[in-house]
Structure 1
Amino acid sequence: MTKVITTNFFMSKLSNSGYTLPVFATASAVASLQYLQNSYQENQVIIDLIKPSELATINIEQIAKISDNQALAITRSNPGDNLDLTRDTPIWSIVTLTPHYETKLIIEGGEGIGKITNLDGKSAIYSYAQKLLEKNLLDNLKSPSIVEVKIILPEGKKLAQRTSNSAFGVIEGLSLLGTTGISQPLTSQKQLELYQQELAEKAKKFDNLVFCIGENGLDLAVKLGYNSEQLVKTANWLGSMLVKSSIEQVKSIILLGYHGKLIKLAGNIFHTHHHLADARLEILTAICANFNLPHGIIQQIFTAETTESAYQILLAFDRENKSNYTDQIYQFMANRIANNCEKYILKHSEHFVKISVILFDRNREIIAKGSSE
């Protein structure tokens, strides 16, 4: 049986949960379609979330016809209590409806939707968002037609500059990414308990696990050949999850992650959410100083915009000087992360867990593998 949830922009399924960006994109698209078919009412639409099997009522902020067969609707993102930079960002959907003897659905990303560099600039509208749009638009279509949908995030390009999207090959905007319609706060105690429960269940089956912070790491881990049953999503709760692994008698863990995220552990920061701590460039600067790099390069690292741009500065320095500092620095970083993690675990628990580290770059290429010395 499908459960029905009613919401407005400032309430959520639970006191601390909201909806993911694909849900609001779908809501604005459905509203535009309904408006063209004269079935829109009460400034809201009902969306089948698919996963979970629930219906959500989403408010529509504005709606209007652009032409006889084209309409624009606007809603706003509400991630609940999640510390999400997309909070209140407007999502536009322009729908063009053309009667046709057979139904065809065309979905594209407009301004502010990122482009995937290794897929010839394809819009970063991923599987769950595609399914959500297809299901809800086709369910609301009254007669065979060509339905063209363009999703626009007016603030997408600006917001993307505050993310690590480019590190994963997405440029010029945000992704419609996710595997569920519910946005659970990754900083909440309830979410940590869910991750720890998953860890405990997998620890009963396996002595060795692979920790990944987010969806990108999980996806890469599978591509690298790791057993999906041994993968554990940690979000930013790395310290707590490491200690839990010790309590559950796990023998070894591979930390697989983007260098610009895991670098925090090299500075003994074990909760990696940027709202709590962000000393990435400071940590990298200290490591570079430890390797006695020239003062000018150290200054460039310290003032770099991102850890990715700092990494590129190091690569350029090596090319120009025929040196090998970048490999040495990131090897040192990987080893230090592993060593810091093992010490952190033993500080809070008695069972030793062997830690290995794999760091990858923006192209998802492995740049360093490390372990404690």
Structure 2
Amino acid sequence: MAEPGGRAGQLKSSGLRHGWTTGACATAATKAAYTALLTGEFPDPVTITLPKGQQPAFALAAEELTPADGATSVAGTAPRAMAGVVKDAGDDPDVTHGALIRSTVRAGEPGAGVVFRAGPGVGTVTKPGLPLPVGEPAINPVPRQMIRDAVAEVAAEHGGTGDVVVEISVDHGEEIARSTWNPRLGILGGLSILGTTGIVVPYSCSAWIDSIRRGVDVARAAGRTHVAGCTGSTSEKVAVAVHGLPEDALLDMGDFAGAVLKYLKRHPVPRLTIAGGFAKLSKLAAGHLDLHSARSQVDKGYLAELARRGGAGEALAEAVAAANTGLEAVQLCRAAGVPLGDLVAEAARATALGVLVGSPVAVDVICIDRAGTIVGRAEPLGP
């Protein structure tokens, strides 16, 4: 059954509305545009079938038939048709929420099938290691298949050949892409058209995790033997200063330490540096792989126990346990000559190696304070 109006649905388990991926929106726009190209009329709303069988309906926000001679278009006379859908990401804080995704469809060469083009605001692949060849529009494999399926459906219903050129564009996409991983991954000129299910699950951060994986792929394809997973821009600058790493070796890990480690276990790089704020890395030290404040907390009792192992007396250990923040704890220990920062770094490395077990990845850890000062290090284990 179709979900009406292109509005995102509600997840019963969380109370949050799910949304639609850029790939689903591009598919809906393409289906509407190709239908208009063949019939002269835009279906609105337009219903598509997602990979798992759901059938959402999308309202059109833009439509245009362009005739060959400037006259009023009728079925079969327009050289191209354009339809646009506004992306609704539901309750997910997605940078592409509200973006207008357009598909312009025109007849292609006989027998060519669906040929994809990047319009304004959609990027082009310029580096190897991604799931698309260099030079291709950044329209990922699942959205491409969704669009092919939609084109085939329309062709069968309205007597088309299915040989079309599909140009996907995103209004202001190049500007939006600056706040994504695309420039670092070598996707230039705009956004990627993404999605594996067509559905955006709120706060799943699937796009961020996918970007981490693509970052590893690009680094491996470039022959990098050392990458850095960093929790933020300050720790990234420190990792570059310490190790001299190029941009394509830097992984914007954020809170997703587990995503970095699990992907590197399957796709190893010889050396990994984990760099981050002391508080976040103290969570990794305690065994947490998701470092977000909503899903893990700094355990000051654990820090007090580490301080004891480092030679802290009971008074200092109690002060650490009662500290207001993790950074206050490390400052108390530094003043007393107790290397709590190093102990946290070593424990964080142990957690990482536990995830990577069996994979040939050496790990070092750098803990910093808010100013970017290194407050703890753990070098790779080995001879």
Same fold by TM-score, threshold 0.5 exceeded?
yes
Confirm or deny: 8 A CA contact 1:338 1:370 kept in the other structure: no
Residue equivalent to 1:370:
364
Q: Tell me how far apart the structure 2 counterparts of residues 5 and 29 of structure 1 sit (CA, whole Å).
A: 18
Pick closer, same or farther for the CA change 1:349–1:165 going to 2, 3 Å. farther
1:260-339 matches, cutoff 5 A: 262-264=229-231, 280-284=232-236, 308=247, 331=273, 333=275
Deviation at 1:108, TM superposition (A): 1.5
- AA aligned to 1:126 is N
Q: Tell me how far apart the structure 2 counterparts of residues 349 and 180 of structure 1 sit (CA, whole Å).
A: 42
Deviations 1:27-56 (A, max 9, x none): 111111111222745521110112x21111
Deviations 1:48-67 (A, max 9, x none): 112x2111101111212112
Helix, strand or coil for the counterpart of 1:64?
Answer: strand
1:128-207 matches, cutoff 5 A: 128-141=142-155, 142-145=158-161, 146-186=163-203
Residue equivalent to 2:107:
97
Q: Tell me how far apart the structure 2 counterparts of residues 165 and 112 of structure 1 sit (CA, whole Å).
A: 12
Residue equivalent to 1:66:
66
Helix, strand or coil for the counterpart of 1:87?
Answer: coil
What runs of 5+ residues in structure 2 fail to find an aligned partner?
A: 68-77, 128-132, 221-225, 251-271, 289-297, 303-346, 354-359, 366-377
Rg comparison, structure with higher value: 2
Q: Tell me how far apart the structure 1 counterparts of residues 58 and 101 of structure 2 sit (CA, whole Å).
A: 12
Confirm or deny: 8 A CA contact 2:124 2:190 kept in the other structure: yes
Deviation at 1:160, TM superposition (A): 0.6
- AA aligned to 2:26 is A
Helix, strand or coil for the counterpart of 1:79?
Answer: coil
Deviation at 1:355, TM superposition (A): 1.8
Q: Tell me how far apart the structure 2 counterparts of residues 26 and 213 of structure 1 sit (CA, whole Å).
A: 22
1:45 aligns with 2:46: yes
With the length of structure 1 as denominator, give the TM-score of the two structures.
0.57
Residue equivalent to 2:17:
16
Helix, strand or coil for the counterpart of 1:123?
Answer: coil
Residue equivalent to 1:85:
95
Pick closer, same or farther for the CA change 1:46–1:213 going to 2, 3 Å. closer
Residue equivalent to 1:194:
none
Deviation at 1:185, TM superposition (A): 1.1
Pick closer, same or farther for the CA change 1:349–1:128 going to 2, 3 Å. farther
Confirm or deny: 8 A CA contact 1:76 1:88 kept in the other structure: yes
Q: Tell me how far apart the structure 2 counterparts of residues 77 and 84 of structure 1 sit (CA, whole Å).
A: 10
With the length of structure 2 as denominator, give the TM-score of the two structures.
0.56
Q: Which moved more, 1:154-163 or 1:105-114?
A: 105-114
Deviations 1:278-337 (A, max 9, x none): xx3344567789x7xxxxxxxxxxxxxxx95998xxxxxxxxxxxxxxxxxx85838977
1:187-266 matches, cutoff 5 A: 214-218=209-213, 259=228, 262-264=229-231
Q: Tell me how far apart the structure 1 counterparts of residues 119 and 101 of structure 2 sit (CA, whole Å).
A: 11
